[in-house]
Amino acid sequence: METDILVIGCGIAGLSYALQCPPSARVLVITKRDRAESSTLYAQGGIAAALYPPDSFESHVRDTLAAGDGLCDRSVVEEIVAGAPPAIERLREAGVDFSRDAAGGFDLGREGGHSARRILHTADATGREIEEKLLARAEGEGNISILENRVAVDLVTAGKLAGDPASPGRCAGAYVLDRSTGAIEPVSARLTVLATGGAGKAYLYTSNPDIATGDGVAMAYRAGAEVANMEFIQFHPTCLFHPLAKSFLVSESVRGEGGILRLVTGEPFMARYHPDGELAPRDIVARAIDNEMKTGGAEHVLLDITHRGEKFIAERFPNIRAKCLSFGYDMAREPIPVVPAAHYTCGGVRAGVDGRTAIEGLLAIGETACTGLHGANRLASNSLLEGAVMAGKAAAFTASLFRGAPPPPPPAIPAWVTGHARDSDESVVVSHNWEELRRFMWDYVGIVRTDKRLERALHRIENLAREITQYYWDFIVTPDLVELRNLATVAELIIRSALARKESRGLHFNLDYPSRDDARFGRDTVLRLGA
């Protein structure tokens, strides 16, 4: 199969990019499950944008820099924050309907780390509204094709085709696994765009959907791209605590609208940790909850918004309330139990705001990328913003390529060779390794770290990676095996990055080095295969 542009991922970044590509370019979007299944679909809070006084561009920049704890690239922050209004307008043109206030303006919410109300939302299901409207628009474009249930196995580079994977050269496309047939097909492309989201499934407890297995980061790293700041994994402070809830996210906006964090005894505690209390940046809130749970021996804390009344809660948080009710909790009448869970990957494939990576012909956008926007900790609701703005910048770069002489046609990619691989009669090994990985990542590479824990984790992942690699070459490749292989790659990147940072900063908190050290570590952690 051949196309002009291959987009891997179907969330806000991938779809927004596809919709803005030149109409003359054939765009193939692949998604590894249902076309709507993406991290975007589950985003509740909204998208940050400074639109009206008294808010300002400068204030949004300042809040983003403060949250990033000294590692943001100011020029990138300014470019993405400045790109918010046109990105919002493009979403509205695609049909996205943001909630309005009584006067007809946007009903702006507030979240932790923000000094003003600047969160555009659609009740508490913003991501679903964006995903559905972008999909509907993309399906009506003649130059865009969307293939569901396609799993990208690996990127193909000119170096790999020439037998020299250490010198990647230009990206030529990818091998793609069809879930329905099990066949692996080469897809050649002039440009390949990674929009695969994050890697929350590397952890036992996560707010992310099952698809968040770090595929883009892992494939790019194996292809020779640079990966940066993987130690900064954001844990969302408030996920619903229930054995069947699968860490259902309770939006930051609940605290933004007055929700109070309490111990199981009913005592509020956030004032002891930060002057902004519940509206402190996420890293501080998550560590505070983690500390209170460990010192008090409780399995969870409580989030209380009952004082806002049933009418307000029903209108502002209809979906969250309904979900809580399905598990027997009425947030309008009682505090709900919450715990932190892995939520967002602040690091990723090193890329410019226009998505360009160190590998020619390979772009990375959205959560898959590390641009310098988030630094050591992402400001709430800057994720959808980054995806939308990067998509526009990447599409503009793409359009510039296609205006002149288009990128060179991709070389033919040889058919996938199964060789002597056979069907596995030990698929339980995959599920066992998956659970083992997620468990030790949670225990040793979580909210609070030590060098000893990280070294234990490194030892475990090295052994596990060898097992998985052997399994990958011995048996027929399956979607589960692809995801496990990618998770193992990403987990090792997280661990090695965390071990390299001998300080505490933002989302990386190491008890052995509790202070921030700008002199030695005021820089990105960058890893490259073989370097």
Task: Give CA separation, 73 vs 371, 423, 454, 503, 528, in Å.
Answer: 8, 48, 27, 19, 20
Same domain, 328 and 365: no
CB-CB contact of 241 with 228 (8 Å) = no
Whether residue 393 sits in one domain with residue 499? no
Instruction: Please check whether residue 415 lies inside any domain of the structure.
Output: no
Check whether residue 226 and residue 256 sit in a common domain. Answer: no
**Ramachandran quadrant class, 342 (left: phi over 0; alpha: psi -120 to 50; beta: rest):** beta
Structure tokens at 288: 């505070």
Examine residue 270 and state whether it is found in any structural domain, yes or no.
Answer: yes
Q: Closest Cα partner for 341 from 431, 239, 219, 244?
A: 239
204 in Cβ contact with 343 (< 8 Å): no
**Are residues 497 and 380 part of one domain?**
no
Residues 310 and 173 in one domain: no
Q: How far apart are CA 391 and CA 328, in angstroms?
A: 40
Q: In the chain, how many domains are there?
A: 3
Question: Distance (Å, rounded) from C-alpha 455 to C-alpha 453?
Answer: 5
> Do 483 and 505 have their domain in common?
yes
- Claim to verify: residue 92 and residue 153 sit in the same structural domain: yes
Q: Which domain holds residue 111?
A: 2-231+346-403
| Active-site option among 222, 282, 321, 356 | 282
pTM: 0.92
Per-residue pLDDT of the chain (531 residues; tens, 9 = 90+): 999 999 999 999 999 999 999 999 999 999 999 888 888 988 888 999 999 899 999 999 999 999 999 999 999 999 999 999 999 999 999 999 999 998 999 999 998 889 999 999 998 889 999 999 999 999 999 999 999 999 999 999 998 888 877 788 899 999 999 999 999 999 999 999 999 999 999 998 899 989 999 999 999 999 999 999 999 999 999 999 998 887 788 988 999 999 999 999 999 999 999 999 999 988 899 999 999 998 999 999 999 999 999 999 999 999 999 999 999 999 999 999 999 999 999 999 999 999 999 999 999 999 999 999 999 999 999 999 999 999 999 999 999 998 877 788 888 899 988 766 667 666 677 888 989 999 999 999 999 999 999 999 999 999 999 988 888 777 788 899 999 999 999 999 999 999 999 999 999 999 999 999 999 999 999 999 987
Domain at 58, CATH number = 3.50.50.60
How many whole angstroms separate alpha carbon 400 and alpha carbon 393? 11
> Strand pairing partners for 227?
349, 527
Find, among 271, 262, 206, 204, the residue nearest to 234 by Cα: 206
How many angstroms separate the CA atoms of 267 and 88, rounded? 40
Check if 282 is active-site: yes
Specify whether 79 is located in the same domain as 189: yes
531 within some domain: no
Q: Are residues 248 and 324 in the same domain?
A: yes
Task: State the CB neighbour count (10 A cutoff) for residue 250.
Answer: 29
Q: What are phi and psi of 185, to 5 degrees?
A: -120, 135
CATH of the domain at 433: 1.20.58.100
Given its phi and psi angles, is residue 419 left (phi above 0), alpha (psi -120 to 50 degrees) or beta? Answer: left
Report yes or no on 414 lying in a domain: no
Q: Are residues 210 and 298 in the same domain?
A: no
Peptide bond into 168 cis (omega under 30): no
Kindly state whether residue 111 falls inside one of the protein's structural domains.
yes
Helix (H, G, I), strand (E, B) or coil at 29: strand
Greatest CA separation found in the chain?
68
> What is the CB-side half-sphere exposure of residue 203 using CA atoms within 13 A?
28
A 10 A CB-CB count for 274 gives 15
* Run of H or E including 302: strand 301-304
Cβ count within 10 A of residue 59: 16
> Looking at residue 296, what DSSP letter applies?
H
Q: Based on the domain organization, do 75 and 89 belong to the same domain?
A: yes
Write down the residue that tokens 């969307």 correspond to: 146
